[in-house]
Structure 1
Amino acid sequence: MAPNQTQLSIYEMESQGSVAYHRDDAEKDNRSLIPRNGPMRLKGFSHIRAPFTKVKFEAPHFYRKPGLAYQKISQHRHRDVFDREWTGDYDDRYISAFDGRVSKLVVQATDDIYENNVSSTYRRTFIVNIAPLFMRLANWPFNHVDYSKNGKPTSEDYPLLCLKWFVASCIIPMVISTPFGTAQGQARNGGAYDVVPYQYWGYPKVAKNALEMDRTRSFAVSQANPVAERVLRPRVLCFLRDHGDPAMVMNVEDWISQYEAENNLSYVFIAYTAEQFQSAEDMRVLHQIADAAARNAGAMAYWVGCSCMPDPSEMIQDVYRICDVIRGAQSLAIAVGRPPNDTRGINTTDLMLQQWGQRVWTFPEVLLAPQNKDIKVYTRGQDLMQPVSVAKNQFAVKVWKNDAHVARQLIDHYEGNLILNQLELVTLALECLHKRETTQYLPGDHSYALMGLLRVRPQIDPTDSAFQAFARLSLANGSEQLLERLICVLPKSPNQPWHSMDDAFGTKLWDILPQDVAIAGIGEDDTIILDGCRAANVRWKSFAPVAYTRRPTMKRWLAQKMLRMGGVVFLVAAILLAMPTSRPYGAILLIYSIILMGLSPWLLRLLYLGKFWDQQCWLFGFEGYMDMDTIESQIFGGRMGRMKWTAAASPLSRHRRNDNGECVPLDPTSDPEIAALVQKAKHAGPGEQRIFTLVDTGNMTATLFLAERPPVCFLMSGSEGGMKRLIGCSYDWTTSTFYRETVIRMETKFADSMKAISRVKIGFKRTQHPYGLLEQVGEANGQQVA
């Protein structure tokens, strides 16, 4: 399936009944535009009655099988951090923070997704309220009140509220003294997020340190990333002879030995494109143009690719050494002509020159041309003594019209007018090169063209993919940690190529600062080995009780004593009432205990309301959207105002300025585009963008985000704009590779709550494995080997 179009217009949403309020009103009141009748209520354990709900021994005990399954192409093996091996069919798994095993992925989902959507390849379970029983009882009287209407109960709500208050008052005293009376979970990991017990056991294709290279490779161990030597002069040139005689193609070293004129060697670089010069007659005309260009420039020779790279055995290296030939040239001359099979009307010098400028290999030829010298353009069939002269600093606006603003910065850099740092140079050059066309010679041609612009050049490896060629180039040059920054970029669209620097947050690559991370190597399958990441596991199967710390107050102390005494006072009152002599005292105590019972929901809320000073850090995840009140009720038992949406953690986050000039986070679905996106994502299939919600109890926030797969962990690898960038990754257990699914931003104060892990193998884009209907393919099978 192709990725879905994730946004609907406001008009489409209104026609489908998706918009309940006007956008301005919704954002002002922070109301979701997703329609519902009253407060959101989850069905919870009532899903057990559904025919598709299955039962298993391990938690979560109830789940729904996926509607799709991956094709069983081959068996795979995984080795975990404790040296245990798992073999089986390809399926969706994650690394358990509990025992380090690679476990089957089960994702909790909202009711509408759990009930109606079977287009996933992973199991789903329903969301269960894990709040303490007595906290749910304390808030139960209010759970029918829709606070989104006017922020408080209405006259219609009070009858039912009173009835439920009475029932809760009778039950709470009995529950609070039972084992169900614990109000919070146990602290774990010293309050830090769950670790990611991961270990990468493989070899990189190229390591930063030669000692880590595979010794069975054909090259020496000391050459982790072999570097090519620069060429000081061309190997072959076409030397001019008398007028009318063709140039003499000769080895430069032989010419120097024969004529002893090394100091006087000067030549013109002749640039052309094979689109315009192809046949033998075209080559003859090309040499005529080159001869005239060299004579007009006062040079004794010229270099042209069709004749000066005669040795097939050296062809691969010569193609990628052209940049050195350009640097040594006296001047640059461009030969253009009308293409042999012209169907686009390319019949003027300007159009021919623009066609020439759209080729990858012509781009560095202009950039590296001698400074402060005009570029001469010779047109086939026109007067060769009157070439068109183009100033180098005007070449971008005249020829490279599609990316003139970017290309001009590069020209200014090589002219010495506006010096770019290496990160800016590589970023802008890569952007321009990938906008140009080429007849592929090797998969890494774009990177090899970029290589000519940089100082250190790795040797050409024909087995490199486009990404590997670029990664090796970046590794050799440092490039101010370009790869470390690039992995922190959130693509604007799901199909954005790896080389695009477009960030969904709207930042530039140089705005992202790597967070104590470094590239340790390059993987075999378009991946990088990243070291120094902090990591946190995401719990997708369910929420869990959260441990927390609050400051003791006199009101809480009194509320606690009164609640604890309620049952005891009632028992004493019953005893005294049974004794004739003490019945008056028993009646008084009975009335007092009844008052305590009646106040128990209020006392309980008083005891546990208020802010946390500290709490256990968890990352909970679920598929779909719930409002903040519902999320908080599922974890803490009621709407207490402790949790908020994030203001700028995701491209889906929303915020506004309040009357005091403060930034206030909004419910993302108060934006009609996000509300429509949430509705449409309910029916997403493999390869399409789904809506997920990440609940962070460390920051007490929730973040709505898009991803194709649920990220099983988050890797902290950079900082930007005063926040940390976390890469949400799915896990391909068959290759021990994490793949970037999303990127979110987190406040810095909880950075230390994530523990560093060993090197991780991480990829930019995960390939969609073939899949089919579960009934036809069958469930994946596997077993623990050792």
Structure 2
Amino acid sequence: MNHECYNSQLKPFYHRKTLRYTSPSSGKCKRLIVQSVNPNLNSDWNEDNVRSNAPLSTQLAGWLCRVMLNPSYETFLWLFIWPIYFIALLVPSRRPTFSHYYKPYLMRFVGQLWAARSPREYSLQARAAGEDDGHARRVTHALYPRFLVVYDNNRRDWTRVDAEAAVRRKPYVAVTYCYSDVINSGSTEALIEQVRNATLDQGFDAYWLDLECLFEDPAQKAQDLYRMSDVYRLASFTLIILTNESAWPAWGGRVWTLPEALLSRELRYKAGNNAVTPISLIQIASLAYSHHDEESHIINSYGLGKDPLERLERNLQLKEAIWRRQSSSSQLTSQEGSSQGRYRAEKVYALMGFFEHRILPNAEETELQALARLFMANDNDRIADRMISMFPRDRRGINQWYTKEDEYGAKLWDIEPTVQVIGITSNGSLVLDGCRAAAIRWKNFPSVAYATRRTIRRLLAHALPYVASAVFVAGAVILISSIHAFPLPPLAVVGGIMAAFSLILLIFAPIFTTYAHSGRVVLARPWLIGVKGVISAQEASDYLYGYQIGDSRRTFYTPSGSPLARPSDSKFREGHVSQYDAALAAPPFDPIEGHMFTLVDTISGTVYYFRAHRPPTVCLFTGSEGGQGRFILASEECSSSELRRQTVLRMPSYISVYMHTCDWVALGGKPSGRYKQ
């Protein structure tokens, strides 16, 4: 079946639905070739053997050198390989070019934003809500209820009042309850009667109850949810209605009861036929909240004014506390479900009351879309900008941008973002601006331009095969031109000695060539190379630069860059070789975490092991944390011009300067199609 995608010039392209990548040289969508330690010919992926593109003379010299130093059953091939090596040595080959940058990522997000940070950008959500004129309201504090139920002393009756002036200056009681608790014990009429009696008993003649004060029209209902937190902020006190004392857990397990309680000036409750009794947040926590140990920080911050939390930490704790509660969005047949349900992002709308700026609810958006809009509207803490760099501990959420816990143990405030979230797509992906990106090469190991420490001995070793070749030719010419005389003249003897000595040197030329290209790599062209499977640091070095003589290490294991990393306990900061053994012993595929892969970086000379469901073709630098950069490895979904996060690595921050900045990229969202993982 043909699959449609668009290049950066918005030209359509049709292809089969296979693993694809954007070519860093042409910007075209191409089929991905994946080099693998053990290629699976029956795989849907286009797998091939691991191959090196180091100069042929260097590769052959390394093989000949190994055979000479370590004879094996392949020794008999030496005489057949040596002439090929010698020809490759003498024939000029194309030298790899040097560059200061990794291969660029040339694709960009080409779709329309579902929601945008800037009111000047086109937004599908804003247009649907009639806010596409760039004048959407954002500051929403000190609003007032649009309806109150007020007691008329003259008529001795309760009336729903919607006059703006009357509502704004009227003291009132806000009511909170658990719908299932009330319905199981009576009816909504009984609840209303109980609320009215309690309101008058407390000396008030007005109250707000969602059963009577919310609109049924979806557009109007969104406006009510928009100002829900202000209903409780401005109330004289909040009245909690319970059927009995044992109903506290049911009430405390609702999504809306946490913001209703925390944002209220004062709390009172009525259980059954008991009198209305004042109660504090601390008392409520012990009665109603099942995660009291996790929510005690929030309770103390709001209830006693002690243990103040930083705003970023507090907002995250509030988010997790609300997400632990039951949503009413599934209760569509109930009255509560009809008033506060029908919204997939109901929990976000309950959370937004704690933020300075709020968003207008939208029945069509998902939780992640609403959460992204909320975070973009309240950018002081840059929550989404930081969160995109985190590595989900639960791998099932790897494609979602929201992350509760980081695999590396970092807190959100530990991450310093280098990108800005400027919007979210209809698919739930965050659109990022300011990314530095690099393409990852998968088809083979490239021919890498590199420099080593050039000592006199290595310079001599490099020149010796060429000098020996010239001496051999000169000696052979002298010998042949003088061999007709007998006895042999001295010149012929000299020619013979020259030819014999140079021939011995040429036999050992592979050792000289290998030694000349050995030594510590002091500078290499930036490359990111991926391999399906596990290769050692030494194997990576051989594929990149060829075999070497000596103990100079060219590639290293990462001490903390991946979940499989193991630090060395020596006096130097470096990775331990045990991570290679652990990666080698691990199953090649895990249903939740995916396949085992190896990534090689030539700038830092580091090897990383990680798991992913698809080969990541793009590396994004999105932030820094704990002395290391946060780099997201993502695969491409060309049909939507979006990226899917596969893993997050901690790599040296300085390598980001070797990356090109790129245009907008969309990261996250829900995968689609055959290769959704």
Instruction: Please tell me whether residue 376 in structure 1 is matched to residue 268 in structure 2.
Output: yes
Aligned residue number for residue 492 of structure 2: 583
Where 1:302 maps in the other structure, the secondary structure is: strand
Q: Closer, same or farther in 2 for the Cα pair 1:450/1:604, shift >3 Å? A: same
Tell me which of 565, 569, 573 is aligned to 1:657: 569
Select which of 232, 242, 250 maps to 1:355. Answer: 250
Which residue of structure 2 lines up, in the alignment, with residue 69 of structure 1? none
C-alpha displacement of 1:416: 3.7
Provide, for residues 405-426 of structure 1, a one-character-per-residue CA deviation record: whole Å limited to 9, x for no partner. Answer: 2453365157543444443233
| Distance in 1 separating the partners of 2:140 and 2:54 | 67
> Is residue 490 from structure 1 mapped to residue 391 from structure 2 by the alignment?
yes
Cα distance in 1 for partners of 2:299, 2:594 equals 36
| Per-residue deviation, residues 72-123 of structure 1 (Å, max 9, x unmatched) | 4xx5433322454312443321110121111112211112x435xx3x4331
Return the offset for 1:161.
9.5
Q: Does 1:505 align with 2:396?
A: no
Tell me, yes or no, if structure 1 residue 427 matches structure 2 residue 328. Answer: no
CA contact (8 A) 2:401 2:430 kept: no
Q: Tell me which residue corresponds to 1:55.
A: none
- Asked whether the 8 Å contact 1:422–1:479 carries over to 2, the reply is no
Q: Which amino acid aligns with 1:109?
A: S
Aligned-residue RMSD, C-alpha: 3.2
In structure 2, how many angstroms separate the alpha carbons of the residues matched to 1:361 and 1:426?
16
Pairing partner for 2:96 from 185, 209, 216: 185
Within a 5 Å distance, the mapping from 1:110-149 to structure 2 comes to: 110-111=37-38, 113-115=39-41, 118=42, 120-141=43-64, 143=66
Three-state SS of the structure 2 residue aligned to 1:176 is helix
Residue 776 of structure 1 aligns with which residue?
none
Q: Distance in 2 between matches of 1:414 and 1:589?
A: 96
Cα displacement (A) at 1:234: 2.7
Residue ranges of structure 2 left out of the alignment (5+ in a row): 330-340, 483-487
Task: Report the CA distance shift for 1:411/1:252 in structure 2 as closer, same or farther (over 3 A).
Answer: farther
Corresponding residue for residue 195 of structure 2: 290
1:510-568 CA-to-partner distances (Å, cap 9, x unmatched) read 111111x2122222221222111011001111111000123432112221222211111
> Given the alignment, which residue of 741, 762, 777 partners 2:667?
762
Segment drifting more, 78-87 vs 702-711: 78-87
Q: 1:643 aligns with which of 532, 555, 566?
A: 555
**1:505-584 maps to which residues of 2 (within 5 A)?**
505-515=408-418, 517-578=419-480, 579=482, 580-581=488-489, 582-584=491-493
CA–CA distance in 1 between the matches of 2:165 and 2:133?
37
* Counterpart contact for 2:631–2:648, Cα < 8 Å: yes
- Paired-residue identity, %: 26
Determine whether 1:96 maps to 2:5.
no
Correspondences of 1:343-742 after superposition (within 5 Å):
349=245, 351-370=246-265, 373=266, 375-380=267-272, 382-384=273-275, 387=277, 390-402=279-291, 404-406=293-295, 408-409=297-298, 411-413=300-302, 416-440=305-329, 441=341, 442-496=343-397, 498-515=401-418, 517-578=419-480, 579=482, 580-581=488-489, 582-638=491-547, 641-658=553-570, 660=571, 662-671=573-582, 674-681=583-590, 689-742=594-647
Q: Structure 1's 214 and 512: CA in aligned 2 closer, same or farther, altered over 3 A?
A: closer
Q: State the SS of the aligned residue for 2:513.
A: helix
Give the residue type in structure 1 aligned to 2:113: P
SS in 2 for 1:613: strand
Q: Give the secondary-structure state (helix, strand or coil) at the position aligned to 1:277.
A: helix
Structure 1, residues 335-356: CA drift from partner, whole Å, max 9, x if none?
2226xxxxxxxxxx2x421121
Larger displacement relative to structure 2 (503-512 or 587-596): 587-596
Equivalent of residue 237 in structure 1, options 148, 156, 177:
148
**Preserved contact between residue 109 and residue 666 of structure 2 (Cα < 8 Å):** yes
Larger relative contact order (Cα-Cα within 8 Å, sequence gap ≥ 6): 1
Q: Check the 8 A contact 1:267/1:303 in 2, yes or no.
A: yes
Contact kept, 8 Å, 1:444 with 1:466, in 2: the verdict is yes
Provide Cα deviations, 1:299-353, integer angstroms capped at 9, x if missing partner.
4433322233366563332244221111012222322226xxxxxxxxxx2x421
**8 Å CA contact 2:226, 2:359 repeated in 1:** no
SS of 1:77's partner is: strand
TM-aligned CA deviation for residue 638 of structure 1: 1.7
Q: What SS does the corresponding residue of 1:179 show, helix, strand or coil? A: coil
Indicate how the Cα distance of structure 1 residues 423 and 652 shifts in structure 2: closer, same or farther if over 3 A, else same: same
C-alpha distance 407-303 of structure 1, shift in aligned 2 (>3 A): farther
Partner of 1:7: none
**Partner SS, residue 78 of structure 1:** strand
Cα displacement (A) at 1:162: 8.1
Q: Distance in 2 between matches of 1:675 and 1:170?
A: 37
Moved more, 543-552 or 230-239: 230-239
Contact 1:518 1:532 in 2 (8 A): yes
Conserved 8 A contact 1:174-1:567: no
* Range 498-507 or range 398-407, more displaced: 398-407
Output the amino acid matched with 1:509: L
Q: Name the SS for the 2:586 alignment partner.
A: helix
Structure 2: how far apart are the matches of 1:141 and 1:169?
7
Native 8 Å contact 2:226 2:358 kept in 1 = no
The alpha-carbon deviation at position 680 of structure 1 amounts to 3.9
Q: For residue 59 of structure 2, what is the amino acid of its counterpart?
A: R
Q: SS in structure 1 opposite 2:183?
A: coil
Show the counterpart of 1:303. 208
Distance change >3 Å, CA 247–CA 320, structure 1 → 2: farther
User: AA paired with 1:185?
Assistant: P
Distance in 1 of aligned mates of 2:46 and 2:234: 63
Secondary structure of the 2:160 match is strand
Query: 1:144–1:426: structure 2 CA closer, same or farther, 3 Å change rule?
Result: farther
- Decide whether aligned partners of structure 1 residues 563 and 365 sit closer, same or farther in structure 2, where only a CA change above 3 A counts: same
Q: 1:560 to 1:235 in 2, by over 3 A?
A: closer
Q: Is the 8 A contact 1:206 1:521 kept in 2?
A: yes
CA spacing shift, 1:569–1:630, aligned 2, 3 Å:
same
Query: Structure 1's 210 and 707: CA in aligned 2 closer, same or farther, altered over 3 A?
Result: same
Q: Counterpart of 1:64?
A: none
Aligned length: 648
Q: Flag the 1:246–1:608 CA change in 2: closer, same or farther, 3 A.
A: farther
In the alignment, the residues of structure 2 paired with residue 404 and residue 300 of structure 1 have an alpha-carbon distance, to the nearest angstrom, of: 38
Determine if contact 1:653/1:666 at 8 Å carries over to the other structure: no
TM-score (norm 2): 0.87
Distance 1:221 1:312 in 2: 22
Corresponding residue number in structure 2 for 1:250: 160
Instruction: Check 1:608–1:179 CA distance in 2 against 1; reply closer, same or farther (3 A cut).
Output: same
Give the conservation status (yes or no) of the 8 Å contact 1:360–1:436: yes
SS in 1 for 2:498: helix
Q: Is the 8 A contact 2:637 2:644 kept in 1?
A: yes
Match of 2:229 in 1: 323
Indicate if the aligned counterparts of 2:150 and 2:161 stay in contact, CA closer than 8 A: no
Task: In structure 2, give the amino acid aligned to 1:597.
Answer: L
Task: Measure how far apart 1:166 and its partner are.
Answer: 7.8
1:703, distance to aligned residue in structure 2 (A)? 0.9
Contact 1:740 1:765 in 2 (8 A): no
**1:276 to partner: Cα distance:** 0.5
